[in-house]
Amino acid sequence: MKGKRYPMEAKIRILRAVDSGQAILDVCREQNLSEVSFHRWKRQFGQMEINEARRLKELERENRELKKMLACGAAAAVKCAQGKTRPVTRDLGSTHKPARRGGGGRRKSRY
């Protein structure tokens, strides 16, 4: 059975409670937390403050988005190289207009 998931800020608050002088076992018992989880958090977050943890979380989210964008661009390049799609190019400086097809406008009746 899965246990409770703690937000990053709560983990750091628990770590700081031990730094302030409380015993590790007392804090773990109070928070219903295993000592192994406490030491894992201590190794992961160390002396990090809450604002640093928030910044880390934001950077990880941004990095994840950039990796998705890179993967999407790489996939498009592979499809283009295989001839499945054409690269998108636009000539914005061109004044050439394609010829109109058909008579255009309203048709006149023959009768």
pTM of the predicted model as reported, rounded to 2 decimal places? 0.51
Long-range contacts of 12-18 (CB under 8 A, 24+ apart): 12/45, 12/48, 12/49, 12/50, 12/53, 13/50, 14/38, 14/41, 15/41, 15/42, 15/45
| Inter-residue contact 41 to 11 (CB < 8 Å) | yes
Mind listing the pLDDT tens digit of every residue in the chain (111 residues)?
A: 466 788 888 898 999 999 888 999 999 999 999 999 999 999 988 888 888 888 988 999 999 999 988 888 877 777 777 776 666 565 555 565 666 666 556 666 666
- For 22, the token pair is 């409380």
- For residue 30, give the nearest of 19, 43, 17 by alpha carbon: 17
